[in-house]
Amino acid sequence: MINVFMDDYRKQPKGFVLARTTEECLLLLRECEVRILSLDYDMGPGDFSGGEVARRIVLEGLFPREIYLHTSSHRGRKEMYETLYPAISDAHLLHNGPLDPGRLAEIAERAEH
């Protein structure tokens, strides 16, 4: 089971696999069991947005156990949340914001052991 951090610019947190493109993120969701997914919205020129990843998660049933929306785009966060929220089951968690520092530290510590 892996944790995925999708971002074209930011450094990956310890304990996460980095997806620099939406296609990399979708490939990981399709091929691996993902525990935590943290999504950016603006993925740079020539790439789709996090909104497209959210749509694919819903259409293809690619839900990880937890999803965080770490984007700094308020419009993008709203779009992703509004796409994911109606489709998410009780078995999954959707957070309308980034991982807090305590949770990041916990994940990093677990990755070291």
Rounded Cα distance, 43 and 22, in Å: 7
Does the global pTM surpass 0.85?
yes
Dist CA 113 CA 111 (whole Å): 6
| Residue 86 in this model has a pLDDT that exceeds 90 | yes
Q: How much of the chain exceeds pLDDT 90, in percent?
A: 96
| Residue-level pLDDT at 111 | 85
Query: What tens digit of pLDDT does each residue of 25-74 get?
Result: 999 999 999 999 999 999 989 999 999 999 999 999 999 999 999 999 99
